[in-house]
């Protein structure tokens, strides 16, 4: 773990906005130890750039504009390197028969995206319908973080 010591300033000069960084004579400096280790999923990503897949935020109910019974999801690679092909899982709460795993191609670095359009369960037309989209569900992509791989919400078509 890499650590960095911060010395707290003891006084500010008013007009010049200069910071006095040494403590008054005889006063020990205030030292705060701060962990500056990058928060990454894989130790490999500490020294190497990695992909970072996540579902784009398309709002609470991402309906596909050309059909009110279809939903649109977009998986994005926010990392600085291309990703391997992976699997995106879309689930619909208590309507498990409509859950599906969608093969997702490798995505280009820095914003490469893949759009997935699926039929919503017919029951959603008359009730509250929850959904969840999760990128890289089989963990095939070495990522900076997998904590952003899923997004969920609900639609209310009633």
d(CA 149, CA 145): 8
- Written as one string, the DSSP assignment of 45-84 is HHHS--B-EEE----SS-B-TT-TTEEEEEEEE-SSSPPP
Nearest by Cα to 88 from 50, 128, 121, 56: 56
Strand partners, 31: 7
pLDDT in tens, 128-153: 888 899 999 999 999 988 889 999 98
- Tokens representing 89 are 């899982």
Structure tokens at 108: 């280009």
Q: Residue 75 has what pLDDT?
A: 95
**For 143, what's the count of Cα atoms within 13 Å in the CB-facing half-sphere?**
23
Domain boundaries, the chain: 3-37, 49-156
Tens of pLDDT, residues 4-63? 333 333 333 333 333 334 445 665 555 445 444 444 456 777 778 999 999 998 887 887
Per residue in 91-128, pLDDT (tens digit) is 988 888 889 999 999 999 999 999 999 988 888 777 78
Contact 131, 91 (CB under 8 A): yes
Q: Look at the domain 49-156 and name its fold.
A: Immunoglobulin-like (2.60.40)
* Closest alpha carbon to 63 in 157, 152, 148, 158: 157
Q: What is the pTM assigned to this prediction?
A: 0.70
- CA proximity to 52, closest of 39, 34, 70, 35: 39
């Amino acid at each position: 773990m890499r650590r960095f010591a911060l010395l707290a300033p003891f006084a500010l000069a008013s007009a010049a906005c200069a910071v006095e960084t040494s403590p008054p004579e005889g006063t020990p400096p205030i030292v705060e130890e701060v962990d500056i280790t990058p928060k990454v999923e894989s130790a490999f990503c500490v020294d190497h750039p990695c992909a970072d897949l996540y579902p784009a935020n398309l709002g609470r109910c991402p309906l596909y504009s050309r059909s009110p019974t279809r939903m649109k999801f977009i998986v994005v690679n926010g990392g600085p390197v291309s990703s391997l092909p992976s699997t995106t899982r879309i689930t619909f709460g208590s309507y498990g028969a409509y859950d599906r795993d969608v093969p997702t191609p490798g995505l280009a670095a820095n914003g490469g995206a893949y759009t997935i359009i699926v039929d919503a369960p017919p029951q959603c037309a008359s009730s509250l319908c929850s959904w969840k989209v999760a990128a890289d569900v089989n963990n095939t992509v070495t990522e900076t973080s997998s904590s952003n791989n899923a997004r969920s919400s609900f639609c209310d078509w009633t």
